[in-house]
Structures are given as structure tokens and as C-alpha cells.
Structure 1
């Protein structure tokens, strides 16, 4: 017999309660909606943002170039944790841009959500929510869970902004949001790669994967095409008090800009945080560099410049600076990217494998995730 899929309709019966049309294999259910507030958003470095899910403080708007400011309104790296015994979890979210996908990145990563559950200290993928229109969508993430209390983590879109987010569970279920962590985070500054291009869903960006591996909060300050190591951005990073800074900006810098900008960028952070570890990440070795001699020479020059900057600081007595070589980050088989530069999940997993040992060694032994 052919089953015709039923459209999901939400019939509001109270401000936060709605009746959901059943799918073919379930009974009607009434959902109670829980709105996400800034106090429970993980991955934000500042609380004084213009929107609830922005990444830079509102006061920075006039100091930043417009592309950087606009990208800071993307919710890359943000997540929400909650505990629920729900048998069904649905999400309703409103994005700020009409563009739901990119030519090389699907809607699920650009504008979608994905959910993980914690089982005995490890995070496992539960399901995702795919947007179909702009601005507002609602979708089931998972149906058919056993009614057992679990801790969940919901990741927000990588390349779109969010103005409102709600989690819906059956009326009889409980849901409690977990306040954002007080633990010192890992702050990662960089490019489109750091922002998450081209993960197929938010939880597969390398910053999200690092957060799960290390069990620490991570602040994603990746800005597509605009990780240019500018002084105004360095001053903002210096306001934070992280456990570690990771600087992964070389793909957006020319070799000359590495020499001109990175020493001052590092110095600004170091002046404010004299003992905080700073991890410098070399430029990824793109898979087709063997066929692009001029680009390969630029990448080699940029990496050599970063190594000189690192050595200069070490020789000057900075014992809290680390260099991560590019050879450990992407592999040599050419299978780690979508195009000539942006990683797939395979590429991101390899990056995490290369970064994790350095970061784990630098994290305070007493660091806890909450």
C-alpha cells in the first residue's frame, strides 16, 4: 500500500501549546513550546549583543568593517543544552536571511539545526531539522524516543542568523534548559573554514567537534573571507578570558599580511592575557596545491612567516604560545574538501585529530565543562 505523507500542521490553542497533526505511525500529540533565551545560549563571548544569537557585542558595530559585522550576526558555533524526557522533539526557528543554502553547502548546514544526546559522557547524533522556507520553519528532529530524561545539545545554523528559537515537546513531557557554561572556553578565530564551511550540518563543524571531544565550551569567531587579523578584532578577542586562543586565519591573509598583521594581533591579545595559551594554526595544505605552483608557493611562504613569528615570540620569552603544523590537519589523499579549500566532514575530522592533542595538553587540569 502506498502511504501519502501528511503535512504537519500546528494549531495554536495557547501561547506556548499547539496541537501537532500526527504522522502515519503516531497518535495526535499536543506540544508545549519553550523559547530559548540568551541566558542558555552556549558559545557566546559577549552578552551585550544586538540579537540573542549574534556573536559580537552591539557596541562593536561601528568599529568593524561591514562584512565582519554582518557575518558576526550568523549563529555559527552557538548551541543550546536542555534536559528532557520527551518522546518527541520538534523545533521552530526564524532565520534572518532568505538565502538558505550555498552552492557548495546544503541548507542543513547553512540554515538548519542538529541535535545530539549525551549517553554516559559521550555525545551522539540524534537528528536534524532542515529548513524549507524563509523566515520561519518548524520540524520534527526526532520522534519515538523512550521517555527517559536525557541531556541534549542543539546546534544553531552556521551561515544564517537566528532571531527566534523554540523547542517543542509533548505537553506531558518535561524540559529544562541548562544555563550556559561558566567554564573558560576555547576561542577560535579564523575564516570560512572556522565558521563551518562546508559542514553538512552545524554539529560537524570543526569547532563543534572540538567542543564535544574536549568537553569544553568553544566560541566560534570564524568570518567567511574576513578573518584578516585586524586590530579592532584583536581588541575584541582580548576582552575575553578563555582557557585557550586558537588563531586560524592564514587562509584569508596574503604572505605579506601575515608578516604585517599577525605579530600585532598576537601582541594585543598577549598584552591583555599574558599567560593564556595562544595556538597558531598553519595554513591548510589544500589538496590541489601540487597542481597550483604559485598558490603552493604563497601557502609555503605564509606558513614560513607564521613559524618565524612563533619562534620570535618564543625567543622573547613567551612560553604560552604553540604552533600547529599544517601537515597534520587535512591528509594527503585529496578527499578532505568540497572544493579546492573548504573541508568536508572528513576534512574537519582530520583537523580535529590534528588539533585535539595540542589543546588537550594546554587545557587546565581542573577544567570542567560546566
Structure 2
């Protein structure tokens, strides 16, 4: 049977993990925040990471043995280091079992200055086709997980057999918000991001709102979480505020309270877990800003912050952890479903060999974080125990 077109919208395909599907000139672009938030994005960098589909997957039933997906990929060139970011891979899952990975093709390049001095520029590229097969015969449920580290526009889907609507996901829903260390651009596949590893280990349905460089306690993110269905919510806070040197303690503590207050407007009793940063030696006792540098062709990060500024209210990770622990302890007296987890329990001193750029875990580090989170949060006695 020759491959036949399958509608991407208003048909059997369910695109999960996205909160908006934008029709573009090329096709359909998934976004991980709703459309009303986009006018409030403070920078093109924020827009870029929200459009990178970490945790987004296409789900449908099919009897096909071959699938073709036409896509337009947009990778990012960071002008601060003159390096094009990874595109990642597409990953196929058949009846819950990982089956195939396909490296992302070339496409557009977004030239982006994270400092905002130069306006963003698109170097146009060409669409390409991602092919999966041979798939097992017979009816099955298929998931195509999109790459977490590049923007994707879905142009067309073709299958050489019938395609049916996806089975509903009956599992409870976990909504997670965090930084690049939740976005997981350095993971080796979409299924290797730590929130997805944790969700698969615990057999729950995850929505990943991890935004590289943009876990800044933004009110539009809090309002989004407030309005979402969720059985559990986790907020991994602090590292971006330190590395961006965007707040002092005076502003940070009220902003954390305000973020939690907004989430609680929609989820007054939902188990809510506040997670402090993982171990990051360069800013444990020094403030930001933290900047990318190239050393012998290898990207690393380093802070230029002066420890003397801590006395003036600047933030280090040690200060952040003390503040978050105190805020949760005080609020939990009247909010028994509010919990705290020290991020160093997910990635600590014994894991530093898997922190190659001094900031982000590698693929092995992320998988270990996911396994540990599942054991700490979802197991009996944990804050997300069923």
C-alpha cells in the first residue's frame, strides 16, 4: 500500500505535551505555553525555548508498517559562542516500547543573541522527511516524540496503513516547570529527559514546562499552570535567577510566594513540590551572572559574579536553597500539600563527573535524575505517592 496523507489537525493524531498548535506557512508548530502568553515573552530567547518541544509527542493508532513525517527543523546559532545548538532526534515508541531513533535533519538556522543586542535572524533551510519502519504488523499505538533541542514545524504525515485515533491516556497528570536542567537539551533523546524518565518509571503522564534560561518566576507561566488540569505539580526554581543575576533576595522571596499563590488559585489542594537547584559548584557560594565560554572548542560555563555582593542581597545557590526551604516550611503550616526537595538529592557531589559544561548534566546524569526523582517523589511515602 502506498503511503497516504494523514491530517495533522482535526484528525486521528493527538499532539500531547503542547499547549498551543500554531499554523505556520510551513505547517504546524507546537508551543509549550498557550498563545496568549507569547506577547508577554520578554526576549526572543524565551520565545525560542518555549517553541522547542521537550516532552511533545504525536500519538495515534495504526496498522501501518512505514511512516513518513515531513518537517522543517530550526536549530539555533548562539552568537555568544558561534556554535549551532544540537538538533536532537525523533524517537518512535510502539505500544510503549522505544523502537527507533532518527537524527534531526538540517533546516533553518535561527541566529540568536541571548543578550538581545543583535536582533534574531533566520537563515532559511529546506524541509526534510523523517522515515520510520519497518513497524510490526497489526494494530498498535504509536508515539513520535519530537526533539527537545530544536524547533519543529510539522508539515505532513503519511502512513502505508490505516490510522486511528489514539487511546486516551488514563494515567494521572504531572505538570513540571523548571530551567534548562528540566528542558534537558543535552539528553541523548526525547525519552532521555529526566522528567520523561521519571514519568515512565512511575507510569504517569508528564507535561514538561522546563524552559532553558527562563525559569524566572514569570507570572504568565504561573497563570498557565494555575489553569491546567494536574494531579501533581513540581516547580524547580532558582538556577536561572542566579545565573542571570536577575534578582536580589528582596525580590526573589516575594516572587516565589506570588508564583505559588497563583498556582494555588487553581490548585488549592494539589500536591505541590518545590525543588531547589541541583549542585553547581561555580555558583554554590558565588552570584551570577554566568556566561558561556569556549575552551579548546568545548562549550563551558563560568560565573563572573563577585562573592562580596552576597552581603548586598545577591543570590547564590546556597542562598536560594535556604530561602526556598524557609518559604515552604512557613507555608506548609497551613498548606499540608506543599513540599520541598533539595535538588542535590537528584544530582549531587557524587555526580559531578556527569556535569561536563559545569552547568548541565549529560545524558547519563539526566537519566539518573529521572530515576531518583521517581523514587523520591512517586514512591510510597513520597509527596506524589498515589
User: What interval of TM-score do these two structures reach, taking the shorter chain for normalisation?
Assistant: 0.7 to 0.9
Equivalent-residue separation in structure 2 for 1:157 and 1:104 (angstroms):
15
Q: What is residue 4 of structure 1 aligned with on the other side?
A: none
C-alpha RMSD of the superposition: 3.1
Conserved 8 A contact 1:37-1:52 = no
- Structure 1: gaps of 5 or more residues: 1-28, 366-370
Choose the corresponding residue for 2:331, options 313, 319, 334: 313
**Aligned residue pairs: how many?**
324
SS of match in other structure, 2:359: coil
Equivalent-residue separation in structure 2 for 1:179 and 1:261 (angstroms):
40
Question: Per-residue displacement from partner, 1:189-244 (whole Å, max 9, x unpaired)?
Answer: 11112222211222211222233223332212122111100223212221112111
Q: What displacement does 1:140 show? A: 2.2
Q: What displacement does 1:267 show? A: 1.5
Q: What is residue 60 of structure 2 aligned with on the other side?
A: 82
Q: What displacement does 1:363 show? A: 4.9
Q: What is residue 195 of structure 1 aligned with on the other side?
A: 183
Relative to the length of structure 2, the TM-score reads: 0.74
- Structure 2: gaps of 5 or more residues: 108-124, 243-247, 288-302, 308-315
Closer, same or farther: CA 81–311 of 1 in aligned 2, 3 Å: same
Q: What is residue 8 of structure 2 aligned with on the other side?
A: 36
SS of match in other structure, 2:31: coil
Q: What is residue 351 of structure 1 aligned with on the other side?
A: 369
Equivalent-residue separation in structure 2 for 1:136 and 1:193 (angstroms):
29
Q: What displacement does 1:163 show? A: 2.7
Conserved 8 A contact 2:20-2:30 = no
Q: What is residue 294 of structure 1 aligned with on the other side?
A: 286
Q: What displacement does 1:281 show? A: 0.9
Q: What is residue 343 of structure 2 aligned with on the other side?
A: 326
1:147 is aligned to 2:165: no
Relative to the length of structure 1, the TM-score reads: 0.77
Equivalent-residue separation in structure 2 for 1:258 and 1:293 (angstroms):
17
Closer, same or farther: CA 35–93 of 1 in aligned 2, 3 Å: farther
1:335 is aligned to 2:353: yes
Q: What is residue 66 of structure 1 aligned with on the other side?
A: 43
Conserved 8 A contact 2:21-2:30 = no
Q: What is residue 113 of structure 1 aligned with on the other side?
A: 90
Equivalent-residue separation in structure 2 for 1:104 and 1:180 (angstroms):
38
Greater shift, 234-243 or 324-333, is seen at: 324-333
Equivalent-residue separation in structure 2 for 1:344 and 1:105 (angstroms):
15
Q: What is residue 160 of structure 1 aligned with on the other side?
A: 150
